[in-house]
Structure 1
Amino acid sequence: MSDNRTPVVILVRPQMGENIGAAARAMLNFGLTEMRLVEPRDGWPNPKAVAMASGAAGKVLDHAKVYPTLASAMEGIEYAFATTARGRELSKPVFTPQTAMDKARALDGRCALIFGPERAGLENDDVARANAIVTVPVNPDFPSLNLAQAVLLMGYEWGRDTLPPEPAPHVRKAAAELLADRVEIEKLGDHYEEKLKESGFFFPETKAESMRLNLRNMWSRLTLTQGDVRILHGVLRQLTRR
């Protein structure tokens, strides 16, 4: 399912099927598709996980593999990141999610993102099997993240440089969404200037030319669609109707 550079997500002793399903959704949001499970508490497969994954993310669960130990789940992994606020007493580099995923993109082989069980997170024995620790800089008064949130943060940092930076533009836009050209803007300005002149807006005469210039400049600064222009013409016609 994945190429040799996309990180593998390893969930160690996950407790609730709903959290596994939510993690699968978070993974697929950012192009992570390989999940490995170590001793899931409620067994596998888990219908609650499937229900929470909802639709396309179900394919992540369909291909998820179950392992008896974290050591066996490291098959084919060359570098592993343990996501935890614990384990600082171990002599390992500690990264933020952004720095960790920058390093992951520079690796030649597979890397793994290891997440612990919901209640207490990874134990030191788990962290000892990783190359580095990833800790999220959060509010020290409330540092708790649920499993799917942690997966989402790591996935976002991975996808930030590998996925399109913005949503793909619509292939075809409705006329109301097409930008008005300069001629349409010019005619709109003429329409307003005409009606404002009839209403006596340009007063006193000594300031009239400056007022017209400022209004014309205002129209040129606005980014209007063809639909916007039609609405503004209609507003003016309604306001000036006798």
Structure 2
Amino acid sequence: MADSAEPIPPVVILDKSQMAENIGAVARVMANFGLSELRLVAPRDGWPQDRAWATASGADWVLEGVKVFDSVAGAVADLNTVYAATARPRETRMAVRTPRETARVLFDDRASGLNIGLLFGGERSGLETSDIALTQGIVTIPIDPRHHSLNLAQAVAINAYEWRTTVLDAPPPRFREGDPPASGALMLGMYEHLERELDDGGFFHPPEKRPSMVQNLRVMLGRSAFSEQEVATFRGVITALSKGRGRVLAKLAAKKAAGES
């Protein structure tokens, strides 16, 4: 395990893992490079799974500390900076970095007191765009396009190695100026508040385009790295606008009623 003087490493989140052996292999490489907190989102075969321990090669403390979540939103709720590991940005205008660049960003944010994480998709289908939209950036491994097959444990190992190297070799961290960004839970609350009001206002039209419009809004707002105070301010703006719309509708209803009487 990592030396106590080292910064707390990023949380590793596996979304919809299919094979216990892969979870065990991930735990093994996490332990190799000093990462210890593993979160599982809706693992296909539930948890715990005995076969994971067989491939973890003694990294029992990682598996014993696993936390299970029903959704990516729940798994990232207490994190401030999360990078999604994917080879396909999937039409999201987000920062795309290599594992080395990402490790530096996470190292600096951790030094500023932020909670950090790395999100990995399932073995077969990877990450959904709606889940990527809950993160602050994309980490892509620059592999040769002639053979881009990379298994889950390998992807985690490369990112974990770059984190470890950054911790051991990096110059002093660059501290984030100003207030730290809001947690995933606060950002999700803001997104859902805005989306409810936009639903009421008829913004999402036609209805079949709502999912893509929601994703675009979340990515756009997520890039701004809102602080807790900014989230509160923005939600206040949403509330004020919704109340204003309510007053306008009430006046129109009153005029209509007066005209009918």
By the TM > 0.5 criterion, same fold?
yes
| Partner residue in 1 for 2:9 | 6
State the shift of 1:4 in Å: 6.6
Q: TM-score, normalised by structure 1?
A: 0.65
User: For the structure 1 residues 89 and 164, does the alpha-carbon distance in structure 2 shift closer, same or farther, using more than 3 Å as the test?
Assistant: closer
Q: TM-score, normalised by structure 2?
A: 0.60
User: For the structure 1 residues 164 and 89, does the alpha-carbon distance in structure 2 shift closer, same or farther, using more than 3 Å as the test?
Assistant: closer
1:43-91 per-residue CA deviation (whole Å, 9 max, x = no partner) reads 1000011111121x11100001000000000132001100001124101
| Partner residue in 1 for 2:143 | 138
State the shift of 1:125 in Å: 1.4
Gaps of at least 5 residues in structure 2 are 171-261
1:112 maps to a residue whose letter is: G
| Partner residue in 2 for 1:26 | 29
1:8 maps to a residue whose letter is: V
Gaps of at least 5 residues in structure 1 are 166-242
| 2:158 counterpart of 1:156 | no
| Partner residue in 2 for 1:97 | 99
Query: Distance in 1 between the 2:89 and 2:169 partners?
Result: 35
Listed as ranges, the matches of 1:8-87 within 5 Å are 8-55=11-58, 57-87=59-89
Aligned residues: 164
CA contact (8 A) 2:90 2:129 kept: no
Listed as ranges, the matches of 1:157-196 within 5 Å are 157-163=162-168
| 2:118 counterpart of 1:113 | yes
Query: Distance in 2 between the 1:83 and 1:115 partners?
Result: 5
RMSD: 1.9
CA contact (8 A) 1:84 1:121 kept: yes
Query: Distance in 2 between the 1:111 and 1:145 partners?
Result: 24
Larger Rg belongs to: 1
- Equivalent position SS for 1:106: helix
Query: Distance in 2 between the 1:93 and 1:25 partners?
Result: 29
State the shift of 1:22 in Å: 0.1
Query: Distance in 1 between the 2:87 and 2:133 partners?
Result: 14
Query: Distance in 1 between the 2:7 and 2:144 partners?
Result: 35
